[in-house]
Amino acid sequence: MDLKQDLSHYIELINKELQKYMDIYPRKNKTLIDAMNYSLMAGGKRLRPVLALASYNIFNHEIEEVLPYACGIEMIHTYSLIHDDLPAMDNDDYRRGKLTNHKVFGEGTAILAGDGLLNYAFEIMLQDAVKRKNVSPYVESMRVIAEAAGINGMIGGQIVDLESENKTIDGDTLEYIHLKKTAALITAPLKIGAIIGQASEVDIENMEFIGRNLGLAFQIRDDILDIIGENDKLGKNVGSDENKQKSTYPSIHGLEYSINKVKELTLSANEKLMKYNNASFLYELSNYLINREF
Amino acid sequence: MDLKQDLSHYIELINKELQKYMDIYPRKNKTLIDAMNYSLMAGGKRLRPVLALASYNIFNHEIEEVLPYACGIEMIHTYSLIHDDLPAMDNDDYRRGKLTNHKVFGEGTAILAGDGLLNYAFEIMLQDAVKRKNVSPYVESMRVIAEAAGINGMIGGQIVDLESENKTIDGDTLEYIHLKKTAALITAPLKIGAIIGQASEVDIENMEFIGRNLGLAFQIRDDILDIIGENDKLGKNVGSDENKQKSTYPSIHGLEYSINKVKELTLSANEKLMKYNNASFLYELSNYLINREF
């Protein structure tokens, strides 16, 4: 199998589905849809929805079953970026090499575009769920997503991140931020892929373990790239965390330790993945994520 | 029956349930919960969740069935107020006679508190739904709520409202704003009360009709009170819409026409309500809303 080919195939499926959801232009609120569309279609990596599809494919074959929930997760991820970039939060002008949402549409519209994407995520998932005969796995998946995105998940990580600016924080607090702000919404797609794919309890737990490890590895790699990466590849200013005096994994634990930690977490995830016959895509993807440069 | 006594009973049920959901203080993110709690427990009228309980009671008796969804709607309503008050939106310093969320906790935390409440609304509803045996009415209710709160509902109204500041708008646009920004989230509780109460299709449609009328009447009454009300009762500055050069129902149609419109909408809702045996609370409530002074 070819990682890049499979990845392109997944991303194409996701982009088509997302575009379908955005091809609704109500008479009166075009600005809002434009602002939502701007960030949702800004060329993100689609890592989270790809993970949902790949996890589902280990256990089942009707990929349309998981697609709306994969797209819901991507909408939630995108809303979090829009709000995170706002002047009252990280105050970033660029994201993925493009002007941030509020820089193009203004702060008020950017806040509403974020709200709109979070709400729309649940709306499209529920629109799908009401049509399902065996609805339980879908309801449980939405619960998992809400929990991962919420006050004990991503938003919980955001608030601690916000409070930690211009402060020295300890390793535990940073790990909390990374686990909640990043790993939670990387674990969720792997988990719901298994739930909707009708996997066993043990398999669902395995996917959760893999998600936690890959999510943390992914964020530490991000911290590393902020130091050693190139501006144009990352699409944001290298050293931007340092400029904001934000603690990062390397600033607390050192660069070498951080690089080893990424390897260790990935290895541990891959050990679990090796138990599955159809997990070669995820296996290769996790190896690719260790070495990614953007 | 006694309107005030029944209303107090409903409000007590709702406040207890809301407090239960908020009595979770995770180790690291107390600030976020405090900010969410501040606005959620700021002494709102609880009109929306009361409508859900009252509508449910027309058709059924196990009120606990609808309570989490009533609370979810109140959380969504509260988040919309927090974001609406932000400097980039309406820039209000006071709400219900208290400092607005961002005035107390800062803008970044207020944005996250709003996000947190919107997400938590779906989280608590889904936590309930996964435990239900006959889950369909609950999934359909969440879909109805997501639609009413979303880009074709409340948020759709917000964006047109935001774009209409310092502009002259026509009657149709104002009606769109009122229907979407206000009536949608007054219709939703009446509708889901009927859905979870196992009402017939016709009854669900009747509740939708009643909600649209009462919601529009409620907002027009709000516009009227902004002109004739007293500062301290309203908890915000009278004339504040005028100061922001916002178009209101009376500024477009005149005060007398507006007062008559409120009566007409309420009468039409009450005609439908009279068909039901157990609707006297809603009937009296809608008459009370016409004449309310805050």
Q: What is the mean pLDDT of residues B102-115?
A: 98
Residues 73 through 112 of chain B touching chain A, CB cutoff 8 Å: 79, 83, 86, 88-89, 106-112
pLDDT band at B123 (very low <50, low <70, confident <90, very high): very high
pLDDT in tens, B20-65: 999 977 777 899 999 999 999 998 899 999 999 999 999 999 999 9
- Cβ distance B119 to A149 less than 8 Å, yes or no, reads yes
CA B238 distance to own-chain centroid? 21
Helix (H) or strand (E) holding B95: strand B94-95
Alpha carbon of B4: minimum distance to chain A alpha carbons (Å): 34
pLDDT in tens, B187-204: 999 999 999 999 999 999
Q: Is the predicted pLDDT of residue B223 greater than 80, yes or no?
A: yes
Per-residue pLDDT at B41: 95
CA distance between the termini of chain A: 23
DSSP string, chain A: --HHHHHHHHHHHHHHHHHHHH----SS-HHHHHHHHHHHTS----HHHHHHHHHHHHH-S-GGGTHHHHHHHHHHHHHHHHHHHSTTTT--SEETTEE-HHHHH-HHHHHHHHHHHHHHHHHHHHHHHTT-SS-HHHHHHHHHHHHHHSTTTHHHHHHHHHHTTTS---HHHHHHHIIIIIIHHHHHHHHHHHHHTT--HHHHHHHHHHHHHHHHHHHHHHHHHHHHS-HHHHTS-TTHHHHTT---HHHHH-HHHHHHHHHHHHHHHHHHHTT-TT-HHHHHHHHHHHH---
pLDDT in tens, A176-218: 999 999 999 999 999 999 999 999 999 999 999 999 999 999 9
Q: Which residue has the tokens 């790949």?
A: A54
- Cβ distance B142 to A149 less than 8 Å, yes or no, reads no
pLDDT in tens, B166-179: 888 999 999 999 99
Per-residue pLDDT at B194: 98
Q: Is the predicted pLDDT of residue B241 greater than 80, yes or no?
A: no
Q: Which residue has the tokens 């996000």?
A: B115
Average pLDDT, chain A: 93
Q: What is the mean pLDDT of residues A3-22?
A: 95
Q: What is the mean pLDDT of residues A54-71?
A: 97
Alpha carbon of B140: minimum distance to chain A alpha carbons (Å): 6
Per-residue pLDDT at A246: 81
Alpha carbon of A167: minimum distance to chain B alpha carbons (Å): 15
Q: Is the predicted pLDDT of residue B182 greater than 60, yes or no?
A: yes
CA gap B248, B17 in Å, rounded: 35
Angle between helices A67-85 and A47-59 (to 10 degrees): 160
pLDDT band at A238 (very low <50, low <70, confident <90, very high): low
Q: Is the predicted pLDDT of residue A236 greater than 60, yes or no?
A: no
Contacts of B155 in chain A (CB under 8 A): 32, 112, 115-116, 119
The tally of domains found in chain B comes to: 1
- Name the 3-class secondary structure at B80: helix
Q: What is the mean pLDDT of residues B274-279?
A: 93
Q: Which residue has the tokens 């209000």?
A: B92
More confident site: A71 or A289: A71
- Cβ distance B33 to A151 less than 8 Å, yes or no, reads yes
- Cβ distance A155 to B32 less than 8 Å, yes or no, reads yes
| Closest of B82, B73, B67, B71 to residue B36, by C-alpha | B82
pLDDT in tens, A117-138: 999 999 999 999 999 999 999 9
CA gap A273, A283 in Å, rounded: 6
Range of the domain at A104: 3-291
Residue A248 near residue A255 (C-beta atoms within 8 A): no
Single-letter amino acid, residue B224: I
Q: What is the mean pLDDT of residues A284-294?
A: 85
- Cβ distance B89 to A83 less than 8 Å, yes or no, reads no
CATH number, domain at A58?
A: 1.10.600.10
CA gap A91, A197 in Å, rounded: 40
Per-residue pLDDT at B25: 72
Q: Is the predicted pLDDT of residue B244 greater than 70, yes or no?
A: no
CA angle B211, B212, B218 (to 5 degrees): 85
pLDDT band at B233 (very low <50, low <70, confident <90, very high): low
Q: Is the predicted pLDDT of residue B227 greater than 90, yes or no?
A: no
Q: Is the predicted pLDDT of residue B243 greater than 80, yes or no?
A: no
Alpha carbon of B84: minimum distance to chain A alpha carbons (Å): 9
B159 touches chain A (CB under 8 A): yes
CA gap A12, B263 in Å, rounded: 54
The rounded percent of chain B whose pLDDT value lies above 90 is 84
A175 touches chain B (CB under 8 A): no
Structure tokens at A142: 């939405």
